[in-house]
A and B are shown apart, each in its own frame.
Chain A
Amino acid sequence: MKRHRLEAWLSHHSTVIILAVPLLVIAAITDLLAGSLLIRLATAMFVSMIIVIGMQVFMGNSGILAWVHVGFMGIGAYIASVCSMTPQMKAIAIPQVYPFLLNIHLPFWPSILVGSAVATVVAAAISYPLMRLSDAAAAITSFALLIIIHAVLVHWDRVTNGPRTLFGIEEYTTLWISVVCAILVLIVAYFFKESSLGLRLRASREDYHAASAMGINITQVRYFSFLISAAIAGFGGGLFAHYITSFTPDAFYLIETFNILAMLVVGGPLSISGAVIGTVLVTVAREGVRAIENTINLNHLLPFEVIGLTEVFLATILILSLILRPQGIMGSRELRWKPKKNMDETNKAK
Chain B
Amino acid sequence: MIVFEFLINAISLGSLYALIALGLVIIYGILKMVNFAYGELIMIGGYLLYLVGLNTNIPWLIVAVIAVIGAMVVSYFTELVAFRRVRVKSLTALLITTFAVSTLLQNGALLVISPRAKAVALPQIFSTSISIFGVGTPVRNILTIVISISMLIGLTILFRYTILGIALRAAADDFQMTRMLGVPANLVISSAFVISGAIAGVVSLFWVGRTASVTPTIGQGPLLIAFVATVIGGMRSLVGAVVGGFVYGVIFSFIGVLLPQVLLDYREAFMFLIVILILLWRPEGLVKVKYAEERVG
A130 to B108, CA, bound (A): 35
Closest partner residue, chain B, to A258 (CB atom): B103
Which residues of the partner chain A approach B100 to less than 8 Å between Cβ atoms? 258, 262, 315, 318-319, 322
A136-B28 contact in complex given A258-B103, A308-B110, A309-B111, C-beta closer than 8 Å: yes
A144-B93 contact in complex given A258-B99, A319-B82, C-beta closer than 8 Å: no
Judged by a CB distance under 8 angstroms, whether A261 is at the interface is: yes
Q: Mark A308-348, 1 if CB is under 8 A from B, else 0.
A: 11011011101100110010000000000000000000000
Distance in Å: Cβ of B91 to nearest Cβ of chain A: 6
Chain B interface: which of A1-9, A116-124, A146-154? Answer: A146-154
Q: Are A136 and B275 in contact (CB under 8 A)?
A: no
Which residues of the partner chain A approach B224 to less than 8 Å between Cβ atoms? 147
A145-B276 contact in complex given A135-B32, A322-B96, A323-B86, C-beta closer than 8 Å: yes
Judged by a CB distance under 8 angstroms, whether B279 is at the interface is: yes
Judged by a CB distance under 8 angstroms, whether B175 is at the interface is: no
Distance in Å: Cβ of B81 to nearest Cβ of chain A: 8
Q: Which of B17-54 contact A (CB under 8 A)?
A: 28, 32-34
Which residues of the partner chain A approach B275 to less than 8 Å between Cβ atoms? 140-141, 144
Q: Are B269 and A151 in contact (CB under 8 A)?
A: yes
Judged by a CB distance under 8 angstroms, whether B295 is at the interface is: yes
Which residues of the partner chain A approach B101 to less than 8 Å between Cβ atoms? 315, 319
Closest partner residue, chain B, to A152 (CB atom): B269
Distance in Å: Cβ of B72 to nearest Cβ of chain A: 21
Q: Mark A142-173, 1 if CB is under 8 A from B, else 0.
A: 01110110011011000000000000000000
Judged by a CB distance under 8 angstroms, whether A77 is at the interface is: no
Closest partner residue, chain B, to A257 (CB atom): B99
Distance in Å: Cβ of B186 to nearest Cβ of chain A: 16
A314 to B106, CA, bound (A): 13
Closest partner residue, chain B, to A309 (CB atom): B111
Q: Which of A58-76 contact B (CB under 8 A)?
A: 59, 63-65
Q: Which of A252-310 contact B (CB under 8 A)?
A: 254, 258, 261-262, 265, 269, 306-309
Judged by a CB distance under 8 angstroms, whether A199 is at the interface is: no
Closest partner residue, chain B, to A133 (CB atom): B279
Closest partner residue, chain B, to A135 (CB atom): B91
Give how many B residues have a beta carbon under 8 Å from the other chain's beta carbons.
45
Judged by a CB distance under 8 angstroms, whether B194 is at the interface is: no
Closest partner residue, chain A, to B91 (CB atom): A135
Say which residue of B104, B115, B227 sits within 8 Å of A140 (CB atoms): B227
Judged by a CB distance under 8 angstroms, whether B290 is at the interface is: no
Judged by a CB distance under 8 angstroms, whether A137 is at the interface is: yes
Q: Are A139 and B86 in contact (CB under 8 A)?
A: no
Say which residue of B33, B108, B269, B276 sits within 8 Å of A312 (CB atoms): B108
A132 to B28, CA, bound (A): 21
Q: Are A315 and B266 in contact (CB under 8 A)?
A: no
Which residues of the partner chain A approach B295 to less than 8 Å between Cβ atoms? 135
Distance in Å: Cβ of A304 to nearest Cβ of chain B: 8
Q: Are B227 and A144 in contact (CB under 8 A)?
A: yes
Judged by a CB distance under 8 angstroms, whether B107 is at the interface is: yes
A140 to B272, CA, bound (A): 10
Judged by a CB distance under 8 angstroms, whether B188 is at the interface is: no
Distance in Å: Cβ of B99 to nearest Cβ of chain A: 7
Judged by a CB distance under 8 angstroms, whether B138 is at the interface is: no
Which residues of the partner chain B approach A129 to less than 8 Å between Cβ atoms? 280
Q: Which of B238-297 contact A (CB under 8 A)?
A: 265-266, 268-269, 272-273, 275-276, 279-280, 283, 295
A43 to B224, CA, bound (A): 34
Judged by a CB distance under 8 angstroms, whether B92 is at the interface is: yes
Which residues of the partner chain B approach A326 to less than 8 Å between Cβ atoms? 86, 89-90, 93
Which residues of the partner chain B approach A139 to less than 8 Å between Cβ atoms? 34, 92, 95
Q: Are A322 and B93 in contact (CB under 8 A)?
A: yes
A194 to B103, CA, bound (A): 35
Distance in Å: Cβ of A137 to nearest Cβ of chain B: 5
Say which residue of A59, A152, A262, A318 sits within 8 Å of B266 (CB atoms): A152
Q: Which of B198-254 contact A (CB under 8 A)?
A: 216, 220, 224, 227, 231, 235
Q: Are A261 and B96 in contact (CB under 8 A)?
A: yes
Q: Are A140 and B91 in contact (CB under 8 A)?
A: no
Q: Mark B104-119, 1 if CB is under 8 A from A, else 0.
A: 1011111100010000
Judged by a CB distance under 8 angstroms, whether B97 is at the interface is: yes
Which residues of the partner chain B approach A143 to less than 8 Å between Cβ atoms? 227
Say which residue of B95, B104, B266, B279 sits within 8 Å of A141 (CB atoms): B279
A322 to B87, CA, bound (A): 10
Q: Are B32 and A315 in contact (CB under 8 A)?
A: no
A316 to B111, CA, bound (A): 14
Say which residue of A63, A311, A323 sits within 8 Å of B82 (CB atoms): A323
Which residues of the partner chain B approach A141 to less than 8 Å between Cβ atoms? 275-276, 279
Q: Are A306 and B104 in contact (CB under 8 A)?
A: no
A77 to B295, CA, bound (A): 38
Closest partner residue, chain B, to A306 (CB atom): B111
A269 to B96, CA, bound (A): 12
A315 to B220, CA, bound (A): 17
A307-B110 contact in complex given A151-B266, A322-B96, A326-B86, C-beta closer than 8 Å: yes
Say which residue of A140, A151, A307 sits within 8 Å of B231 (CB atoms): A140
Please name 13 pairs of A and B residues whose Cβ atoms are closer than 8 Å in the assembled complex, sorted by A.
A65-B96, A130-B280, A136-B95, A141-B276, A143-B227, A148-B269, A148-B272, A154-B265, A258-B100, A315-B103, A318-B96, A319-B97, A323-B86
A-B CB proximity, top 9 nearest:
A308-B110, A308-B107, A315-B104, A311-B107, A151-B269, A144-B272, A308-B111, A326-B89, A318-B100
Instruction: Identify the B interface with A (CB < 8 A).
Output: 28, 32-34, 82, 85-86, 89-93, 95-97, 99-101, 103-104, 106-111, 115, 216, 220, 224, 227, 231, 235, 265-266, 268-269, 272-273, 275-276, 279-280, 283, 295
Beyond A136-B28, A315-B101, 4 additional pairs, beta carbon < 8 A: A136-B32, A137-B283, A143-B227, A145-B272
